Amino acid sequence: MPPRPIQKILIANRGEIAVRVMRACRDLGIRTVAVYSDADREALHVRSADEAYPIGPPPPRESYLDIGKIIDAAKKSGADAIHPGYGFLSEKAELARACAAAGVIFIGPPAEAIDAMGDKTRARKKMMDAGVPVVPGDNGSYQGGRGFPSAEAALESARKLGLPVMLKASAGGGGKGMRLVEDEKKFVAAYEGAQREAKSAFGDDAVYLEKAVVRPRHVEIQVFADTHGHCVYLFERDCSIQRRHQKVIEEAPSPALDEATRRKMGEVAVRAASAVGYVGAGTCEFLLAEDKSFYFLEMNTRLQVEHPVTEMVTQLDLVRLQIAVANGEPLPFKQEDLRLQGAAIECRIYAEDPLRFLPSPGKITRLRQPSGPYVRDDSGVYEGAEISVYYDPMISKLITWGATRGEAIDRMQRALSEYRVGGIKTNLQFHRRVMRNAAFREGRYDTSYIEREKAELLRPLELVEGDEALDAALAATAIQAFTQAPQPATDADARDAERSAWQRQES
């Protein structure tokens, strides 16, 4: 247990998650320290902190991924704890060990737990030993069960498993080094491509195989453990709406789970966390088959991007809990005390082309974010801020809550209609379409949802009946009646096809 409560926290991250952690700290009366690269000198997280320290050039490896610079900033600032956020160094055991060596509290799990779950092939074996169901697969025989000696050896294993199979990076996550292979003739090229991507992303080209589960849902369980031997699950999040294995929309609870399956998955997640001596916030990810069977995929040893939907349906502040556990405090509740309350949905708002999902860096010339009852917008930008080419192009995470799933969806539709961004392209149009898509509204989706519904979701605006662009001419007449001197749309507005006529009349 720390000798005294944490009084100053350095957030080893940027963007919306750094701002999110700072808000929790402010609620607790804890001072905050930001770190920033040269590209982030004017970023919102820097402006939000009590103190800020430069850590180098824009490339992450020279700044946010440099453990030495992070520890040096903690020492200079007198921070007694470091919160890693998610991404960057959040799942690096080396940071946890460096914190211990420097006498700084790491707000996260023990280094040993990060190591145990960080290598996917070893984690699979550990989970099987603990009786946790995993997707049938093969870790390979190379280097003590970390990959295969050749593509041909991997292909032979794939034949035994039976195609389709998934190729996955042993050291990976976030969809990097992942390939679905349905045709044996394409296996070798896919395997070599997965290796190259894994090497580039993680410095490790080890790849393993999993049997592909047909039309699965991606359902994850939030777990929380303290240093007193208590571990609970905070229900599930459905993260099945993905593109290129990257989550786009998440919700809690999952519309596919019944209470019995929810309880089974939660108990398995607690067993998985306990098997590695876990402490703090963690997430066990599962594939859920149509017959309600489920399989462990991996454990993320950090706070998740989508943690706000869990906060909305449990009324818990997970960052405050992380800080309390790091202070040595026991969890203030037991499993039987926890209850699901309503439903919540999160849309990740990105600076990207809404049809091709390509990043759209640049300056935000105009920004109006939604608000109102049960609407939350976790943002890391402001009007005039730059979306950098060096980092994830997320603008914010928009979350809504409702007493029912339908109410949460309706509220999200309203919130999305209020959201306005100028100067860059965004995926707001995509989210608006999803919210009124029949399959989504009825909860009939899986990880192939976007591909299956792309004719509706990704069609050019002017071809979609009822969409904003087609309504523009009719709406303009109504606007004239309410506006004495309507301002004409600018060239930038005209280029921004995702805005409605109401939006284009404002400046």
Classify residue 169: in a domain, yes or no: yes
pLDDT for position 9: 98
Per-residue pLDDT of 185-199, as tens digits, reads 999 999 999 999 999
Query: What's the rounded Cα separation, in Å, for the pair 352 and 285?
Result: 27
Average pLDDT over residues 110-138: 89
Helix runs in 340-419, H state only: 405-418
Query: What's the rounded Cα separation, in Å, for the pair 46 and 82?
Result: 16
CB 100 within 8 A of CB 122: no
Classify residue 395: in a domain, yes or no: yes
Set 14, 31, 124, 302: catalytic member: 302
CB 122 within 8 A of CB 115: no
Q: Is the pLDDT of residue 143 over 90?
A: no
- For residue 272, give the nearest of 90, 117, 111 by alpha carbon: 117
What CA–CA distances, in Å, run from 344 to 41, 379, 403, 412? 34, 17, 9, 9
Per-residue pLDDT of 266-282, as tens digits, reads 999 999 999 999 999 99
Query: What's the rounded Cα separation, in Å, for the pair 365 and 384?
Result: 5
Classify residue 306: in a domain, yes or no: no
Reported pTM = 0.83
Classify residue 60: in a domain, yes or no: yes
Query: Could you tell me the sign of the dihedral formed by the alpha carbons of 403, 406, 407, 412, in that order?
Result: positive
Classify residue 273: in a domain, yes or no: no
Query: What's the rounded Cα separation, in Å, for the pair 202 and 298?
Result: 16
Helix then strand then coil, % of the chain, to nearest 5 = 40, 20, 40
pLDDT for position 496: 37
Count the Cβ atoms, other than its own, within 10 Å of residue 114: 25
**Residue where one domain finishes, among candidates 175, 196, 211:** 211
Is 302 a residue of the active site?
yes
Per-residue pLDDT of 91-119, as tens digits, reads 999 999 999 999 999 999 999 999 999 88
| H/E element, 475 | helix 468-482
Q: In terms of residue numbers, what domain contains 142?
A: 136-211
151 and 81 within one domain: no
Q: Is the pLDDT of residue 57 over 50?
A: yes
Classify residue 303: in a domain, yes or no: no
One-letter amino acid for residue 259 of the chain: E
Average pLDDT, the chain: 89
32 and 79 within one domain: yes
- For residue 108, give the nearest of 31, 41, 13 by alpha carbon: 13
Tokens read off for 332: 């203030």
CB 207 within 8 A of CB 192: no
pLDDT for position 3: 63
One-letter amino acid for residue 147 of the chain: G
99 and 14 within one domain: yes
* 221 — pLDDT class (breaks 50, 70, 90): very high
pLDDT for position 135: 86
Per-residue pLDDT of 422-439, as tens digits, reads 999 999 999 999 999 999
- Considering the chain, what percentage of its residues have pLDDT values greater than 90? 78
User: Looking at the 3D structure of the chain, how many domains does it have?
Assistant: 4
CATH number at residue 63: 3.40.50.20
Give me the residues paired with residue 284 across strands: 221, 299
Classify residue 334: in a domain, yes or no: no
The C-alpha angle with vertex 396 and arms to 387 and 30, in degrees rounded to 5, equals 100
Which residues are within 8 A (CB) of 363 and not within 5 positions of it... i.e. 6 or more apart? 384, 385, 386, 387, 423, 424
Per-residue pLDDT of 477-506, as tens digits, reads 333 333 333 333 333 333 333 333 233 233
Query: What's the rounded Cα separation, in Å, for the pair 313 and 189?
Result: 44
* Exposed/middle/buried for residue 82 (C-beta within 10 Å: 0-12, 13-18, 19+): buried
pLDDT for position 136: 87
CATH number at residue 355: 3.30.470.20
Query: What's the rounded Cα separation, in Å, for the pair 225 and 469?
Result: 49
Classify residue 62: in a domain, yes or no: yes
